[in-house]
Amino acid sequence: MKMINQFKHKKILVLGLAKSGVSAALLLHKLGAFVTVNDYKPFSENPDAQGLLEKGIKVICGEHPLALLDEGFELMVKNPGIPYTNPLVSRAREQGLPIITEVELAYLVSEANIIGITGTNGKTTTTTLIYEMLAADGQKPLVAGNIGTPASFVAETAKKEETIVMELSSFQLMGISAFRPNIAVITNIYDAHLDYHGTREAYAETKLNITGNQHEQDYFIVNGDQKMIMKAAEKTTAQVIPFSASRYIENGCSVKNGVIMFRGEKVIEQQDIVLPGSHNLENILAAIAAAKLSQVSNTAICQVLTSFQGVKHRTQFVCEIAGRLFYNDSKATNILATKKALQAFHAPTILLAGGLDRGNEFTELVPVLSHVKALITFGETAEKIEQAGRDAGIEMIQRVDNVAKAVPAAYELSDEGDVILLSPACASWDQYRTFEERGDIFIDAVHKLL
């Protein structure tokens, strides 16, 4: 870790805990900052805050008092999940207080190179593929960021010869200033998180922050099938490497006559890849580009792609029971992700969907429901999704209380050869804390059928 001095003896407010807040507070404390942590959860119910207090870090819990800003802080490190409309954050912005997220801290202290991955869909699969390819090549990758382990925690111990493969959300990228990945990847940009960002343009601009500080020797891997991204890429200083699942690109990563090519070099036959779904082809192309730019051998890339079957909660194959194939795609927290999951299958499918109501209609699903023989709904959006099912001509539609009850209901309606797919098209927060919790409940319910 680089023992930087820019935070030494500075008063810094860490707003919001969870894993990233704890990591940021501990790192800043180690760097000599005077840290105050403010978390909404009451102290008596907050083991993270209790642990920080034991280490000599000031903690204020139970509310976000505006009076905190009278204490002369020089920086705020904000949990990505706290919106900028939060009164304390809004007041801080009005006062001109710099606000960052902990990925900025990670960059500032990291001795390792960073590969940063963002996008609306496919981030986690692409991040995992890059990590696996580097590892198969004998390199020393570390995985961090939105995928699970806080970036600042990983960066603290990362060595020069290692590479941090970092998944980055738009929320995290809103809070960067100097952050500069050696390789930046944008998988795609679609409408998402508009309740947080306000407009698609603002959301896209935040995603593009990933390349804002890159230099001429850096690389920016972009989706060559999205005109908006390609247009925006014209402004970067980095070397642009496009990928495309629909056309051949000589100076990028794409498919030619059934062979995946990188800058004119054959990498792998497409038919040898085991990860299902046309949407995953884009993730694979992006990952291959990052791996090749990191000097990973074709042998290592092929080793991964001929064995990797997916990330947990991302079109994850769970098991086969009496000829029925169960897939967990709980990460499908928006309509586009569910569309792509459905397009990955051609067998008769029973779809389990529903969740938090963000005001979306689900008419976009209708064209991809042609092979869906039954629909099981739950959560706040149940009625809206059922209407889409009726519009698609689905006759078997059933509403249940939750995912645990959806699994046996789907099994009762299924036949040998069917796919039973959890792909909710919605966030989980109406019933579950995270999409991971929702997916784990699905997996557990499937296993109870055995």
How far apart, in whole angstroms, are the C-alpha atoms of residue 343 and residue 366? Answer: 12
| CATH domain 11-100 topology | Rossmann fold (3.40.50)
Q: Please write the tens of the pLDDT for every residue from 63-119.
A: 999 999 999 999 999 998 898 899 999 999 999 999 999 999 999 999 999 999 999
Closest CA to 188 of 121, 105, 102: 121
**Binding site as annotated, residues:** 119-125
Instruction: Reply yes or no on whether the pLDDT at 201 is more than 80.
Output: no
Q: Please write the tens of the pLDDT for every residue from 247-302.
A: 999 999 999 999 999 999 999 999 999 887 777 899 999 999 999 999 999 999 99
How far apart, in whole angstroms, are the C-alpha atoms of residue 86 and residue 370? Answer: 43
Note the pLDDT of residue 432: 97
Domain covering 316-447 assigned CATH 3.90.190.20 in the classification: yes
Answer for the pair 207, 187: CB distance below 8 angstroms, yes or no: no
Instruction: Reply yes or no on whether the pLDDT at 130 is more than 60.
Output: yes
How far apart, in whole angstroms, are the C-alpha atoms of residue 49 and residue 54? Answer: 9
**Binding site as annotated, residues for ATP:** 119-125
Domain ranges of the chain: 11-100, 103-305, 316-447
Q: Please write the tens of the pLDDT for every residue from 380-398.
A: 999 999 999 999 999 999 9
Q: Please write the tens of the pLDDT for every residue from 153-174.
A: 999 999 999 999 999 998 899 9
How far apart, in whole angstroms, are the C-alpha atoms of residue 125 and residue 187? Answer: 10
Answer for the pair 171, 81: CB distance below 8 angstroms, yes or no: yes
CA 261 from chain centre, in angstroms, equals: 26
Q: What is the dihedral of CA 32, 141, 176, 97, to 10 degrees?
A: -20
Q: Residue 21: which pLDDT band, with cuts at 50, 70 and 90?
A: very high
Q: Residue 316: which pLDDT band, with cuts at 50, 70 and 90?
A: confident
| CATH domain 103-305 topology | UDP-N-acetylmuramoyl-L-alanine:D-glutamate ligase (3.40.1190)
